[in-house]
Amino acid sequence: MPQKDFNKYSASSDLCDFIIEEDLPGIGWYLYVYEKNSMKCIADYVQDTFEILLDFAEKKYNVKHESWKKL
């Protein structure tokens, strides 16, 4: 069986860099929060859908929906 290509998105703010990454069905999507210009992960969250994480990132970190770029 071929390996599935998972979706991945990135965004940045003045203080942090962000990645949203798809996982296997039934697990959901992850939001990783990194120190600005660093690979140090300072928080991570998992939700059922990409849309839930978009809304969460906007409310918690003020990252607008249109800021996300597909990698």
Q: Can you tell me the distance from the alpha carbon of 71 to that of 62, in angstroms, rounded to the nearest whole number?
A: 21
16 vs 27, which has greater pLDDT? 16
Predicted local confidence at residue 27, as pLDDT: 87
Average pLDDT over residues 18-24: 93
- Residue 2 reports pLDDT greater than 80: no
* Cα-to-chain-centroid distance, residue 42: 13
Predicted local confidence at residue 1, as pLDDT: 45
Per-residue model confidence as pLDDT tens digits over 23-38: 887 889 999 999 998 8
Predicted local confidence at residue 4, as pLDDT: 67
